[in-house]
Every structure is written in structure tokens, then in C-alpha cells.
């Protein structure tokens, strides 16, 4: 068991594991809602749209989280506005917003001659998280989980039947806005750990893996969080022992869990399907 306990002797590893578990709950839980609503690309859009906000905040010496959250929320607001005022489909406008905001970030880097560490920003470095980072992620995770628990029935209705929820008088615009804000906060909180690019894998990967095993939303949320914690911990240990980039190790572990689920799921797994065909 030394291989499991020796890394815990280092403070940076204990902090990294704690941060990974918090992000492993926060991102997959929000990702589960995106997967069920077929809006998985939204996580990718927000993750890339925060770049200009980060550069601008860095140039103005503001807290990075303010710039990231502002531009992440701005991107989703633009998408919602275009969808409600035109015939353009969600995937088309999301693809355009992703490219445009990311390009704006590159322009800002040139204009402000920013010294922002892009490698750490894009790919993350969970081994360098601080206690203040963990406190920030933990606060967002706790508030998010508590709100989901309090308004679970409304979220369930909205997720599977938006038109019906509106007809019943539920404030669908507020619910939609709340989910958008929570998703943006989850992505911003995860930037320090897995980075802008790989946060998409953390948000969507555990959720789609869990989607292959369960059918009910509450089960999907729980299993997504479990897969998120598992892949974070395994990825960090792989990063430690194999000297790999932490964000990449976590993302590849998520990919491995997805493929295991795709093959082994009792109801939707490929192995079971092939076995039934042979029988």
C-alpha cells in the first residue's frame, strides 16, 4: 500500500487530491444536465470564451475569476439571444461564439502584451493549487449541490419537458439562467486544476459514461460525481508516478472510464450487445 500512501506525505499532493475531488463533483454534476439537454457543446463554448476575460482581468490587475466569469456568462447570453431572435440552431451559433471569443482572447494577448501563463491556463496544473483555490472551488461546489437538491423537482421537470414546465407556470427563464450561471462558475472554478481545454473532458466525460449505466436523473448526477472523483484521483496518481501533465492524465483517465462504460454497461454496453447477438 506504500504506492497509495507515500504521495500523501506531500502537502501539494494532498491539496491536489482534495481539489480534484471537489472539481470531480462540481463539473460532472453540471455536465449531466448539459448531456441530458443535448447541450454538451455549451461547456466547450464557455471554457474557450473565458480567455479574453482572463487576459483583460490580468491586464487591469483584477481577480482573474471576475474576468473569466464575465466573459463566460457573456458568451452564453449572446447564444441565448441569437437563438431567441433567429432561426439559427444552437450548435451553429455555439461553434461561432467559441471561435470568436477565443480569437478575441488571442487579440487581447497581443494588444495588452499579456504575460499570462497560457500553458498553465490551457492545460492546468492541479499540483500547484493553493488552499485559497480549494476554498473557492469548495464554496462553489457546496452552493451548487445544495441548490440542486433544493430545486431538484423543478430542475427535473425543466430538463425533460421545458414546454410543459413553462405551461405549468415554472420560471423557465430563471431556471435556465441559473443553470447557465452554475455551469459558468463550475468551469471558472476548474481552470486552475485541469485548464480551459481539458475542463470540457471533466464536465462531459464522467456524465456520458454515467449515462450509459443509469436512466434516472438523480442516479445520473450521483454516478457522474462518483466517476469524476475516481478519474481525478487516478489521474493525479498517474501524473505523480509517471511524471505526466496532471490535466492530461485526468482527461485520459476519463476517456478510459468512458470506453469501459461503453463496453461493459449491462443495458447499453457493446460487449453485452454482441453477446446477445451471438446467443
Residue spans of the domains in the chain: they are: 2-200
Residue with cell 473569466: 68
Residues 79-107 have a mean pLDDT of 90
Per-residue pLDDT, 109: 87
pLDDT in tens, 9-41: 899 999 999 999 999 999 999 999 999 988 888
Q: Torsion angle, CA of 109/189/204/271, rounded to 10 degrees?
A: 120
Superfamily of domain 2-200: ABC transporter involved in vitamin B12 uptake, BtuC (1.10.3470.10)
Kindly indicate the confidence band of residue 110, based on its pLDDT and cuts at 50, 70 and 90: confident
CA angle 131/134/140 to nearest 5° reads: 145
pLDDT in tens, 131-175: 988 998 999 999 999 999 999 999 999 998 888 888 888 898 899
pLDDT in tens, 185-242: 898 888 867 777 678 889 999 999 999 999 899 999 999 999 999 999 999 999 999 9
Amino acid at each position: 500500500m506504500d504506492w497509495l500512501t507515500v504521495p500523501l506525505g506531500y502537502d501539494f499532493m494532498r491539496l491536489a487530491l482534495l481539489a480534484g475531488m471537489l472539481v470531480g463533483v462540481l463539473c460532472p454534476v453540471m455536465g449531466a444536465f448539459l448531456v441530458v439537454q443535448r447541450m454538451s457543446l455549451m461547456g466547450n463554448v464557455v471554457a474557450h470564451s473565458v480567455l479574453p476575460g482572463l487576459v483583460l482581468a490580468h491586464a487591469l490587475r483584477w481577480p482573474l475569476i471576475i474576468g473569466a466569469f464575465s466573459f463566460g456568462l457573456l458568451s452564453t447570453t449572446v447564444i441565448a439571444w441569437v437563438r431567441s431572435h433567429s432561426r439559427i440552431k444552437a450548435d451553429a451559433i455555439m461553434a461561432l461564439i467559441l471561435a470568436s471569443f477565443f480569437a478575441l482572447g488571442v487579440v487581447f494577448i497581443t494588444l495588452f502584451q499579456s504575460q499570462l501563463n497560457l500553458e498553465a491556463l490551457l492545460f492546468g496544473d492541479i499540483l500547484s493549487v493553493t488552499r485559497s483555490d480549494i476554498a473557492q472551488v469548495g464554496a462553489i461546489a457546496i452552493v451548487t449541490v445544495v441548490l440542486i437538491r433544493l430545486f431538484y423537482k423543478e430542475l427535473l421537470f425543466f430538463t425533460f419537458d421545458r414546454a410543459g414546465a413553462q405551461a405549468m407556470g415554472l420560471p423557465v427563464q430563471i431556471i435556465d439562467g441559473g443553470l447557465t450561471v452554475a455551469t459558468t462558475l463550475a468551469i471558472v472554478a476548474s481552470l486552475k486544476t485541469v485548464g480551459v481545454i481539458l475542463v470540457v473532458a471533466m464536465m462531459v466525460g464522467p456524465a456520458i459514461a454515467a449515462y450509459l449505466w443509469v436512466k434516472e436523473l438523480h442516479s445520473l448526477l450521483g454516478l457522474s460525481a462518483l466517476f469524476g472523483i475516481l478519474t481525478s484521483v487516478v489521474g493525479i496518481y498517474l501524473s505523480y508516478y509517471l511524471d505526466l501533465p496532471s490535466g492530461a492524465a485526468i482527461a485520459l483517465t476519463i476517456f478510459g472510464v468512458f470506453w469501459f462504460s461503453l463496453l461493459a454497461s449491462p443495458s447499453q454496453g457493446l460487449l453485452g450487445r454482441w453477446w446477445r447477438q451471438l446467443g
